[in-house]
Structure 1
Amino acid sequence: MDINKITDLITEKLTVWSEALIKLLPNIVVAAIVMVLGFYLAKFIRKTASRLIGKISKNLTLNNLFSSIIYFIFLGIVIFTVLSILKLDKAVTSILAGAGILGLALAFAFQDIAANFMSGIFISFRKPLKVGDIVEIRDYMGKVKEVNLRDTVVETFQGKTVIIPNKEVFQNPIENYTFLQKRRFDLSVGVSYGDDLEKVRQITLDAVSDIEELSKEDAVNVYFVEFGDSSVNLSVRMWINTPEQSVYNKVGSEAIIKIKKAYDANGIMIPFPIRTLDFGIKGGTTLNEMPIQMANPKE
């Protein structure tokens, strides 16, 4: 191998590269300036976006997420602009193609996580529930302890902590007992067919009217709803001035005690289930014939 040829080849390559570098030097300077300015501008946009989003949403996690997404999107634009200035268009095309394939693969691999994540974003904006609300989601009823981007934490009244994926929260009905800041307690009662129903209504209203936790703005209503098998059934509907479950249970217990005492004091009967046996139907045996058949079983 000729050393002179190798030296000439290296020198030629270095010369070509040097010329290319000199020609590209203005582009490198411009690219560097664009990169520096782009980073500072991206930080400014991030702060501005965080401030604007904060006026819409009070969820700090969500606000930081959106401001970070805007920041990285702008950074991506800056990087692609720098590569274009440096005439690395093929590199830009390769990066975009790789990012598309990677994004598609990640979408299939983490579709459940993505669904919960997007549901958490919608929940944060729509606000069907918030921390401290008493809610019922599917078969779980309790107080909301946390609302995260991926899941919602509910503490039931039995002391269980339930972590519900936001996809389930968003796609199912949510019963929010806190939204109105009051709850209605419906109590079913049955009275005898022999009682005066007008008297029953008034005594029932008087019995529960002095319960302290009842709403002053909403009247107690008593409605007779049906003729039962052994009683006339009525519904007592009372609005409670708080959605708290402990107060709800307390009002229900007091109402039952007061109504029972008032009925006993006024001779109103809450009947037991009654069954009437009819032996006189066609093809059957009358009640008078039963003792004869029992005394002569062979006949």
Structure 2
Amino acid sequence: MRQLLATETESGDTTGGTISQLSQLTLEDWLWSGAILGTAFILALGTRRVVQRLLRNASNPYVGTLLGRLTAFVVFSIGFVYALNRIGVSIAPLLGIFGLLGLALAFAFQDILENFIAGILMSIRKPFESGDQVTTVGFSGVVEDINLRTIDLRTFAGERVFIPNAMVWKEPIVNHTLLGNRRTTLDIGVGYDADLELSTSTLVDAVATVDGVSSEPAPEAFAH
């Protein structure tokens, strides 16, 4: 009974001390706290706009908006902490709770966060864009869409493949469209009694008439 009573008395004294401390604050303390909070709010808005402008050309339009809001939240949170410290409010227990909660959520949504971060990094680095022909993770095709979780790839067989961003980020990416020109080698058989010189010249003339084939360097054919 004595231990319980002592605990309750100590808790009551702590609460009373906090209330007493707040009641002793001067007008200057409250004004400083409000000024810090207002400055943090203005800086958060400015930071969000700067980040969105820097990332407005990202391949994914949602990246700039999302990172801008996230940066603004971090800036305002820092200002909020300083404002509370100015009036003597201890936020250590609250930070501990949010830290544990964030750690639990990070473990629970590890795959989602990994794909999300990989999507942001690829939107900034831009290894490919929508419409590019790429080969990655064993698939080849045209990039149809890029979002914060998957890459939507349309294969040359007409299939749609949704590849997680984390897999694409960790694997080599071959962009067949990036440099404009691409060399393609085809093996074509002819009869043993065929005229090789006539066959190669006919093949070169036929390839040169195909749309998309570059004249420089000109197509070539070799017999072996």
Q: Identify the TM-score tier after normalising by the shorter chain.
A: 0.7 to 0.9
> Would the aligned equivalents of 2:134 and 2:140 in 1 still touch at CA under 8 Å?
yes
- 1:132 partner letter: G
Superposed displacement of residue 187, structure 1: 2.4
Q: 1:28 to 1:205 in 2, by over 3 A?
A: closer
TM-score, length basis structure 2: 0.78
Q: 1:48 to 1:157 in 2, by over 3 A?
A: same
Q: 1:101 to 1:214 in 2, by over 3 A?
A: same
Structure 1 stretches of 4+ moved >4 Å: 16-22, 192-196
Query: Which position in structure 2 is the counterpart of 1:269?
Result: none
Larger radius of gyration: 1
Query: Which position in structure 2 is the counterpart of 1:114?
Result: 113
* SS of alignment partner, residue 164 of structure 1: strand
* SS of alignment partner, residue 141 of structure 2: strand
Query: Matched residues, percent identical?
Result: 34
Query: Which position in structure 2 is the counterpart of 1:156?
Result: 155
Aligned residues: 208
Q: 1:18 to 1:108 in 2, by over 3 A?
A: closer
TM-score, length basis structure 1: 0.60
Instruction: Please give the alpha-carbon distance, in whole angstroms, between the structure 2 residues aligned to 1:62 and 1:117.
Output: 10
* SS of alignment partner, residue 188 of structure 1: coil
Superposed displacement of residue 37, structure 1: 3.2
Query: Which position in structure 2 is the counterpart of 1:68?
Result: 69
Superposed displacement of residue 73, structure 1: 0.8
Structure 1 residues 177-256: aligned runs within 5 Å: 177-195=176-194, 197-225=196-224
Query: Which position in structure 2 is the counterpart of 1:136?
Result: 135
Structure 1 residue runs of 5 or longer lacking an equivalent are 1-12, 226-299
- Per-residue CA distance 1:102-126 (angstroms, 9 max, x = gap): 2222221111111111111111122
Superposed displacement of residue 76, structure 1: 0.9
Greater strand proportion: 1
Query: Which position in structure 2 is the counterpart of 1:81?
Result: 82
Query: Which position in structure 1 is the counterpart of 2:4?
Result: none
Instruction: Please give the alpha-carbon distance, in whole angstroms, between the structure 2 residues aligned to 1:211 and 1:44.
Output: 54
Q: 1:124 to 1:20 in 2, by over 3 A?
A: closer
The root-mean-square deviation of aligned C-alpha atoms, in Å, is 2.8
Structure 2 residue runs of 5 or longer lacking an equivalent are 1-12
Instruction: Please give the alpha-carbon distance, in whole angstroms, between the structure 1 residues aligned to 2:202 and 2:22.
Output: 100
Q: 1:211 to 1:145 in 2, by over 3 A?
A: closer
Higher RCO (CA 8 Å, separation ≥ 6 residues):
2
